[in-house]
Amino acid sequence: MQRLAVIGAGPAGLAAAQRLHASWPELEISIFEKSRGVGGRAATRSRPPFRFDHGAQYVKATTPALASAIAAETRHDITQPVWLLHADSQITPGDPAQNIEAKWTYADGLTRLGRELAAGLSIHLETGVGQLIQHGLQWELIAQDSGSLGRFDGVLLTPPAPQLRTMLAASVLPAERQAQIDAALAPASYRRCLSLALGYATPIERPWYALINADRQHPIAWLAREHAKPGRAPAGSSLLIAQMSPGWSLAHWATPVEDLSGAIQPLIDAILGETLPAPVLVDRQGWRYALPEAAADGAALHAVNDGLFWAGDYLVGQGRVHRAIESGWAAAERILARR
């Protein structure tokens, strides 16, 4: 193998490419990302004077390898705990064992993780791949605007499974292989999530950093005091991140952002036990493929040696940054084994 294409510059694709770059410097690696930045859902948005992580909220380092991948000189541990939110809006302390684990972020936002993983790599931003064409032992990538992106000896595919199924349905490869891939990817369905950032010109202090609705019975799946992280809100202000349940998100997917805060604010007031003033900031992000419900059939995907490789949360069945990184590393090892 001389040339490898990586589709997607999220944590899985970047982690795989970074490991391959270090272990196999002769391999020419080209990463194609449809959006304007790297990191996928490890994303940060700036709305002065606020800055917030509107996708993934932090990253865990559950192994020494993960800890070494998160730059120690810039990372910050969110020390306040995560508590439980119940269907009746009551809250209780969370699992002490889980709260012992570090919750890493960065002062300038979680997007720094993507930038650090991307260092030294060749990345083509705003370049969506719409089709693959098999030419013997090589694969040609066709951009969504129909231009050829070149031929490669291998392709690592990291986007969400539904996007991969759409792309591969438009691709040119043997029908039997196409059907086998589609069947393997089919179990990996996703939950939607509306993520709302609400800034207030008043302090909101609590003994917890965030609340998680573990029983999935509340409209708010996750409520975080984003200002518990460094560099997120000016002194005397507060910043909340409300990530809504799949059902609520789907029902309000097309609701204008100015109406969303009116629908969410009473829910937040009930949880906090106080009536907050009108927010000075309301920001919306819709994640169509937020969290996988189940994993794809990884064994079936990995079984065929035709130059296609697989990584991402669709193989894990969980939307966790550290698990996506580990999936990328595993893909890199499979690629290294076939050089």
| Placement of tokens 């570090």 in the chain | 102
Total-model pTM: 0.94
CATH of region 3-38+118-189+293-337: 3.50.50.60
Structure tokens at 6: 């990586």
Cα–Cα nearest to 280, from 214, 225, 204, 200: 200
Helix, strand, coil in percent for the chain, rounding step 5: 30, 30, 40
Alpha-carbon gap, residue 228 to 268, rounded angstroms: 17
Q: How large is the average pLDDT for residues 62-66?
A: 90
3-38+118-189+293-337 with 44-109+191-292: one CATH topology? no
Alpha-carbon gap, residue 327 to 330, rounded angstroms: 5
| Placement of tokens 């013997």 in the chain | 136
pLDDT at 57: 97
152-204 residue pLDDT tens: 999 999 999 999 999 999 999 999 999 999 999 999 999 999 999 999 999 99
Alpha-carbon gap, residue 235 to 213, rounded angstroms: 29
Contact 124, 33 (CB under 8 A): yes
Mean pLDDT over the full length of the chain: 96
Assess whether pLDDT exceeds 90 at residue 74. no
44-109+191-292 adopts what CATH topology? Answer: Polyamine Oxidase; Chain A, domain 2 (3.90.660)
Three-point CA angle 97, 292, 76, nearest 5°: 45
On the CB side of 87, CA atoms within 13 Å amount to 3
- Residue 142, classed as helix, strand or coil, is strand
* Spans of all domains in the chain: 3-38+118-189+293-337, 44-109+191-292
Q: Which residues pair with 223 in a beta bridge?
A: 211, 242
